[in-house]
Chain A
């Protein structure tokens, strides 16, 4: 087990999969010579050459479409979005082609493509550069959507995504690239898609959170522990298909749930998870489910506004207290 950053874990995953399977190639803006805007593709051009590490013209729809075409004939492209905010330019390719070609060809052409890059709140990247983009994708049948919170997950899930026979949307985070953690060295180590994980065990309330919000929830749990509230944290890791079983199992144990998401909330992941809990475990609940989400406004540029827009530890703490009918200290 090595300690490495989230960024390095992604890099190792790409490198191992490219060594393992000659069909895997990386394509996108600045992925070659520049080694990625966030250096995730560091060293790949040198090891694998320009045919497998492809710098493209700046055209998200174009290189995503090219990836889809190459995937139809059995290659396994990993498309890098410099940021997922730019993936909107490729939305038609992802929604109308990547997600539907297997269906429309009657099972003849599956699309084993991974579209990866950072998304979500970062540090002063502002309105067009800090959005939680997963909402645009997990609605679409045919897509899988992954949000890995730790270096170990980054490696294990990216490797699974590359080996998966379906289109996988894999959204990382600028704020996590430098986070360090233990990562297994075994090149055959993978984490299957569609499996949530319990990050912290607890008995009084289940908090469902991923990415930066998961770390914030961990901090909130520490604080709440001092008040005698025992928080269980479930990280879905894959948003589609979602491991509802693990979430429901936890709620059946704690009888209370708080869902945290960085995005603007309305019709977001929190809504979906809340609906699932209500449908499957209504009778187990001792309090209404609470959602903690970003404010319903574009991401501001100013640091203090950015902080105010994004769910804070305090907001999570307050929500947990409410569902536990606790007054706080």
Chain B
């Protein structure tokens, strides 16, 4: 009865293709057509510019709390770029660039952050889940989508996003465990942006990498330079192909950085140094991808202006939208509204009408006596 090693020491692969200065490891360069490279860059730029605009709109009180993506464009775009339209994307709450790429119109995202219900409504043919706020709870849903694909024999891959903080949540571990046991077609993309609000990654986990957490569930885990869109794309493409071929799930850890605030309600100067931010600004995913494209002569002139004009037009359309209708809060509580909701909706409709109507009649009618009270109020 010896004491022996059951598992050899594991290793976690790290992938980087394009460094901060735009230097390329040509042997690892993924095959992407010039047009696709330009499309990819444009999508990243659109994410960045809209992000900056959204922060300004929030500061002006035109939209509500918003979680900026600045610095994470490569992590998001490199990964979703490997999906087909028929695949599923499951976001957390910091995937604006990925959502735009997946087909959310800009004004719909603006409406979402202004609180309109229709902002969270995917188009009928769109395979995206809505933004979700409780951390990691979307991951079992993603496994459910993948299980449904397996159940029906659909050729579908699911890609699910989450942050470094989410890897401490039970739902993360449960999702990876289920995905491993069932061997479903899913890719888990962790955007490790170093900070869960004010808690740094060192306080989040004692593991050296987040990627290695996959190994406990019998899944491959890979760490990539999350500010290198080519590395993220290469790893995601491989993981998506593997899932599509029926070879099971992968965890990809994108090592990136949140250059901005956690949300517009946060002030990061309270918990992290300016030097740290500057160090990561030198690793900006857009700058290095632009340098790479420049060397290939693929950087189009006037792209920023074009993207800004697209955003401006969407903001104009968004601002023309009517105020949200209070009665719509009852629309999608149940598939068919039960009687008490119909009654509450009617009560609100009456109130809204009388709030707008001038006062009339007797100012203080006598209170009802026994037997005269209304008996139609259902509260359940």
Q: Do chains A and B interact in one complex?
A: yes
Q: Dominant SS at the A interface?
A: helix
Q: In the complex, which residues 170-184 of chain B have their Cβ closer than 8 Å to any Cβ of chain A?
A: 170-171, 174-175, 177-178, 181
Judge whether A125 is part of the interface by a CB distance below 8 angstroms: no
Whether A283 touches B335, Cβ cut-off 8 Å, given contacts A70-B148, A109-B129, is no
* Contact A141/B333 with A57-B178, A75-B151, A281-B375 known, Cβ cut-off 8 Å: yes
Asked if A59 is at the interface (CB within 8 A of a chain B CB), the reply is: yes
Interchain nearest-CB distance for B346 vs A (Å): 16
Residue of B nearest to A59 (CB): B174
A272 contacts across to B, CB distance below 8 A: 379-380
Q: A57-B174, A104-B130, A166-B335 are in contact. Are A280 and B124 (CB under 8 A)?
A: no
Give the residues from 268 to 310 in chain A that come closer than 8 angstroms, CB to CB, to chain B.
272, 275-276, 279-283
Q: Is A181 an interface residue (CB 8 A)?
A: no
CB neighbours of A129 from chain B (8 A)? none
Q: Complex formed: what's the CA distance from A57 to B180 in Å?
A: 11
- Closest residue on chain B to residue A66 by CB atoms: B144
Q: Is the Cβ of A69 less than 8 Å from the Cβ of B141?
A: yes
* C-alpha gap A106/B335 in the complex (Å): 11
For A43, list chain B residues within 8 Å (CB). Answer: none
Contact of A165 with B144 at beta-carbon distance under 8 Å, contacts A62-B177, A63-B178 already known: no
Q: In the complex, what distance in Å separates the CA atom of A194 from the CA atom of B342? A: 14
How close is B294's CB to chain A, nearest CB, in angstroms?
41
Cβ A97 vs Cβ B132 within 8 A: yes
Is A107 among interface residues, defined by CB-CB distance under 8 A?
yes
Pair B141/A283 contact, Cβ less than 8 Å:
no
Give CA–CA (A287, B370) in the complex, Å.
15
B141 to chain A, nearest CB (A): 4
Q: Are the CB atoms of B118 and A280 closer together than 8 Å?
A: no
Cβ-defined contact, B151 with A25, below 8 A: yes
Interface residues on B, range: 35 or more
**Distance in angstroms between the alpha carbons of A244 and B117 in the assembled complex:** 30
A22-44, CB under 8 A of B: which get 1 and which 0?
00010000000000000000000
Within A236-274, the residues touching B (CB, 8 Å) are 240-242, 244, 248, 272
Decide: A194 and B338 in contact? CB cutoff 8 A.
yes
Enumerate chain A residues within 8 angstroms of B371, measured Cβ to Cβ: 283
- Whether A280 contacts B332 by the Cβ 8 Å rule is no
Q: Is A65 an interface residue (CB 8 A)?
A: yes
In whole angstroms, how far apart are the Cα atoms of A101 and B130 in the complex?
Answer: 8
**A70-93 vs B: 1/0 string, CB under 8 Å?**
111111000000000000000011
Indicate whether A92 sits within 8 Å of B137 (C-beta atoms), given known contacts A75-B151, A110-B335: yes
Q: Is B331 an interface residue (CB 8 A)?
A: yes
Contact A65 B175 (CB under 8 A): yes
Among the listed A61, A103, A248, A276, which residue makes an inter-chain contact with B332, where contact means beta carbons less than 8 Å apart? A103
Chain A residues near B120: list those with CB within 8 A. Answer: 104-106
B10 interfacial contact with A, CB 8 Å: no
Tell me if A280 and B148 are in contact (CB < 8 A): no
Contact in complex: B130, A69 (CB < 8 Å): no
Q: With A25-B151, A105-B122, A107-B332 as given contacts, are A283 and B370 in contact (CB-CB < 8 Å)?
A: yes
Closest to B119 in A: A106
A96 nearest in chain B by CB position: B134
CB distance A165 to B335 under 8 Å? Answer: yes
Asked if A329 CB lies within 8 Å of chain B CBs, one says no
A128 within 8 A of B: no
Residue pair A280, B375 in contact (C-beta under 8 Å): yes
Interface size class of A (residues with CB under 8 A): 35 or more
**Bound Cα distance A67, B336 (Å):** 21
Q: Is the CB of A73 within 8 A of B148?
A: yes
The reply on A142 being an interface residue by CB < 8 A is yes
Measured CA separation A57–B181 after assembly (Å): 9
Known: A75-B148, A103-B333, A283-B370. A61 touches B174 (CB 8 A): yes
Q: Interface code A94-117, partner B: CB below 8 Å = 1, 0 otherwise?
A: 001100011111111110000000
- Which residues does chain A contribute within 8 Å of B174, judged by CB atoms? 57, 59, 61-62, 65
Query: Smallest Cβ distance from B34 to chain A, in angstroms?
Result: 36
* B273 within 8 Å of A (CB atoms): no
Distance in Å: Cβ of A25 to nearest Cβ of chain B: 7
Interface residues in A105-139 (C-beta closer than 8 Å to B): 105-110
A72 contacts B377, C-beta separation under 8 Å = no
Q: Which residues of A contact B142 (CB under 8 A)?
A: 69
Cα(A107)–Cα(B335), bound, Å: 8
Which residues of chain B are within 8 angstroms of A327 by Cβ–Cβ distance?
Answer: none
- On whether A65 and B148 interact (CB within 8 A), knowing A165-B335, A242-B380, A276-B378, the answer reads no
Of chain B, the residue at the smallest CB distance from A55 is B181
Q: Which of B128-172 contact A (CB under 8 A)?
A: 129-130, 132, 134, 137, 139-148, 150-151, 170-171
* Pair B140/A93 contact, Cβ less than 8 Å: yes
A70 to B371: give the CA distance in the assembly, Å. 51
Contact assessment for B143 and A59 in the assembled complex, using a CB-CB cutoff below 8 Å: no
Residues of chain A contacted by B143 (CB below 8 angstroms): 62, 65-66, 69
Q: Does B58 contact A (CB under 8 A)?
A: no
Bound Cα distance A102, B333 (Å): 7
Q: A25-B151, A65-B143, A65-B144 are in contact. Are A106 and B170 (CB under 8 A)?
A: no
Contact B137 A97 (CB under 8 A): yes
Min CB distance A163 to B, Å, is: 11
Whether, in the assembled complex, A203 has its beta carbon less than 8 Å from a beta carbon of chain B, the answer is no
The complex places the Cα of A105 from the Cα of B144 at a distance, in Å, of: 17
Alpha-carbon separation in the docked complex, A271 to B241 (Å) = 56
Does A206 lie at the interface of the complex (its beta carbon under 8 Å from any beta carbon of B)? no
Across the interface, which residues of B come within 8 angstroms of A57, CB to CB?
A: 174, 177-178, 181
Nearest to A112 among chain B residues (CB) is B335
Can you give 9 A-B contacts (C-beta < 8 A)? A59-B178, A62-B175, A65-B171, A66-B140, A67-B144, A68-B141, A69-B143, A244-B380, A280-B375
Q: Identify 18 new A-B residue pairs, CB closer than 8 A, beyond the known A56-B178, A241-B340.
A: A51-B151, A59-B170, A66-B141, A66-B178, A67-B144, A69-B140, A70-B148, A73-B148, A74-B148, A93-B140, A105-B130, A106-B119, A166-B334, A240-B380, A244-B380, A248-B375, A276-B380, A280-B377
Of all A-B residue pairs in the complex, the 5 with the closest CB atoms, nearest first, are A69-B144, A65-B140, A106-B121, A62-B174, A69-B141
Give the interface of B toward A (CB within 8 A): 117-122, 124, 129-130, 132, 134, 137, 139-148, 150-151, 170-171, 174-175, 177-178, 181, 331-336, 338-340, 370-371, 373, 375-380
